[in-house]
Structure 1
Amino acid sequence: MTKKTPSLISSEFFEPAKASEQVAPKETALEIVARLEKSLVGRNPANQQSPRPPTRVQIPLWSEDHRPVLHDLVRSALFTCGQRDARMDLKAKPIYALEHIKITYTGEELRQRDYDVYLQILHLSRGATVDNRQEWVEFEARSLIKMLGWTQNSRSLVELRETIRRLTACALEVTRSRTKSSVPVVYGGPLLLKYAGAQEGGFDEVTFWKVQINSEVAAQLKPGDYTRIDWQIRTKLSPLEKWLHAFYSTNQHPYPMKVETIHKLCGSRMAEIKFFRRAIKAALDRLTEVGFLSSWQLDDTDKVKVVRSQMLTIQDRESNNDVRT
């Protein structure tokens, strides 16, 4: 008689399980993933919401004779009064600004002629409703050059192309606090998102452009945060005069400000303050000549005091903030 070898496995595994003891079937990998995702959604109510649609921005309207200057940008050295010196290549560079504004900038140095192009592109967008999927702003290169008051030649076509490239390749971050206790507003990115063009003649002679503005920056054009400036006056001015015109436009009764402070705010690269003092005197004379200023003076403490002569509309009065030294 053969002796049975004891089984190494308990006999209960060979017996049918009772109904109450039935083992649940194993989950597949796909079922496990689905269960975990469902569990996570249940824990985070925000995930149950549909994706938020892009924020749509209504760009304000203004007259043909005006352009909108954003206070944060013109109360700083973001667009310098440089003209002849080689442009600096900046990387996360803190930009000098009034105390309630902080700006960092990456890209090729921006100047007043770059700002002219940006203002003109904004002008073509006035009244439009845009978002990150916005339609292109389209324009003829020669028409824009004419509106800018530039000379109609190949050199201007090349400069326009270089400017559009700069406005797209840059990156700025702006933080603004109205008061020490208020929640800061932060925004940034390039001034133009992207561009395309059609060319004729020389390689750099693009004659038709379409560009997309950064709606996050354009969204800051709100009452109290921007001012409409006289475009006809701006086109007659030098770079330093343009900076002063935009800066003083943002307040009907500007506070006196030291020459040294203005030297930093406008991004002047004059090494000696005495030469800049001479330049600012000439610029203030010019602003008086064109009717923007009623008068100006330089006091014994080296502070510039100006008196505006332009009358403001109700909207402009509401949109102007105090400029602090």
Structure 2
Amino acid sequence: MTPRKPSRLIPTALFGDDKSVDGDDAARVALRETPLDIATRLQKAAEERQAAMLEPARSVRRLQIPLWSDGHRPVLHDLVRSALFTCGQRDAREDFKAKPIYALEHIKITYTGEELRQRDYDVYLQILHLSRGATVDDRQEWVEFDARALVKLLGWTQNSRSLVELRETIRRLTACALEVTRARTKQSLAVVYGGPLLLKYAGAQEGSFDEVTFWKVQINTEVASQLRPGDYTRIDWHTRAQLSPLEKWLHAFYSTNQQPYPMKVETIHKLCGSRMAEIKFFRRALKAALSRLVDVGFLGNWEIDDTDKVKVTRSQMITIAEVAGDYLT
């Protein structure tokens, strides 16, 4: 008896299956298919592969920047509960490389770039304000503005020096890189995002080399997408415009909590990025800033107790106004 030869296993990609079949069975299947059937099947397989390759391009993530009233600006809790935008003013800016930024314990920030300050944050908030309600996506869209109009909104002096400062600030917001990790509880899944605050920019200039009078910039939507309910607060822009750098930091920080918990002076000193070496001098500046926030109606009262903890009470009038501002949008 002549032993039967083992059947040859033939891959059946040509037959619309991902298994292997016996060679004799494959031959019988092939005999039943006409050349037109084979051509049709191969064409269909090619179209499916092409569709799979194009799928990522079609799944563009679109994001709508939230709306807020004209008198408000959005502060992201992760950024203002840290020393990312310092209260520095006259000292030379530091250059950082993957520097850990002091923040509340559920937030971790590393930063690379030139030191950012409250005036830089003012510019960033204004650019976000110009993009409110816009729908952007991963391909990025430009935010366009007149430089002199933005300088006016910022309350800066209308001169060429302000145009130069605006240019330097836009460059700084583009050349930086931050990474933020946030976990609300030890059990919750951490959220990680980052990159520069602005992705790129272009401008048109007139007059001297540095006097750019028209700008268009692209915001980093990975950062802007964190502007979700519970993760950002609308602050009163008119109030912020009246304040010094330390007062601005305190205003943004305490805006994120209607019932702030007591915090040591030393902790606030680190959180606001103050460079005052002597804590007693910072305590004096802090007292003046808190009194100023009472004068403008943001705080109801404040005190520093025997344990050197700062206790503040938000103004009920401001709290109601902020809630009303939400409904105005």
Task: Answer yes or no: same fold by TM over 0.5.
Answer: yes
Letter of the structure 1 residue corresponding to residue 310 of structure 2: V
> In the aligned structure 1, how far is the partner of 2:150 from the partner of 2:55?
42
Question: Which of 179, 183, 186 pairs up with 1:180?
Answer: 186
Residue 253 (str. 1) matches residue 253 (str. 2): no
> In the aligned structure 2, how far is the partner of 1:275 from the partner of 1:284?
14
> In the aligned structure 2, how far is the partner of 1:100 from the partner of 1:221?
18
After superposition, residues 136-147 of structure 1 pair within 5 angstroms as 136-147=142-153
Indicate the SS of the match to 2:242.
Answer: coil
Instruction: Identify the residue that residue 72 of structure 1 maps to in structure 2.
Output: 78
After superposition, residues 34-45 of structure 1 pair within 5 angstroms as none
Instruction: Identify the residue that residue 13 of structure 2 maps to in structure 1.
Output: none
Indicate the SS of the match to 1:63.
Answer: coil
1:315/1:186 CA distance change after superposition, 3 Å: farther
Question: Which of 22, 46, 55 pairs up with 1:50?
Answer: 55
Deviation per residue, 1:172-217 (Å, 9 max, x gap): 0000001100000000000000000000111100000000000000
Instruction: Identify the residue that residue 156 of structure 1 maps to in structure 2.
Output: 162
The answer to whether the 8 A contact 1:88-1:108 is kept is yes
How does the TM-score come out when normalised to structure 1?
0.82
Deviation at 1:49, TM superposition (A): 8.0
1:315/1:181 CA distance change after superposition, 3 Å: farther
Query: Following superposition, which runs of at least 4 residues in structure 1 exceed 4 angstroms of deviation?
Result: 313-317
Instruction: Identify the residue that residue 208 of structure 2 maps to in structure 1.
Output: 202
The answer to whether the 8 A contact 1:62-1:228 is kept is yes
Letter of the structure 1 residue corresponding to residue 256 of structure 2: T
Instruction: Identify the residue that residue 263 of structure 1 maps to in structure 2.
Output: 269
Instruction: Identify the residue that residue 103 of structure 1 maps to in structure 2.
Output: 109
Deviation per residue, 1:129-176 (Å, 9 max, x gap): 112323211000000000000000010000000000000000000000
> In the aligned structure 2, how far is the partner of 1:316 from the partner of 1:110?
28
The answer to whether the 8 A contact 1:82-1:269 is kept is yes
Indicate the SS of the match to 2:319.
Answer: coil
Residue 311 (str. 1) matches residue 316 (str. 2): no
Instruction: Identify the residue that residue 129 of structure 1 maps to in structure 2.
Output: 135
Gaps of 5+ in 2: 1-5, 11-51
> In the aligned structure 1, how far is the partner of 2:110 from the partner of 2:66?
26
How does the TM-score come out when normalised to structure 2?
0.81
The answer to whether the 8 A contact 1:284-1:296 is kept is yes
The answer to whether the 8 A contact 1:258-1:303 is kept is yes
> In the aligned structure 2, how far is the partner of 1:265 from the partner of 1:161?
27
Instruction: Identify the residue that residue 322 of structure 1 maps to in structure 2.
Output: none
Question: Which of 221, 226, 236 pairs up with 1:220?
Answer: 226
Identity of aligned residues (%): 81
Greater gyration radius: 1
Instruction: Identify the residue that residue 230 of structure 1 maps to in structure 2.
Output: 236
1:275/1:48 CA distance change after superposition, 3 Å: same
> In the aligned structure 1, how far is the partner of 2:307 from the partner of 2:325?
31
Deviation per residue, 1:253-278 (Å, 9 max, x gap): 00000000000000000000000000
Residue 277 (str. 1) matches residue 297 (str. 2): no
- RMSD over aligned Cα, in angstroms? 2.0
Deviation at 1:299, TM superposition (A): 0.3
The answer to whether the 8 A contact 2:179-2:194 is kept is yes
> In the aligned structure 1, how far is the partner of 2:139 from the partner of 2:112?
24
Indicate the SS of the match to 1:311.
Answer: helix
Deviation at 1:54, TM superposition (A): 2.7
Letter of the structure 2 residue corresponding to residue 241 of structure 1: E
> In the aligned structure 1, how far is the partner of 2:120 from the partner of 2:234?
18
Indicate the SS of the match to 1:203.
Answer: coil
Residue 240 (str. 1) matches residue 246 (str. 2): yes
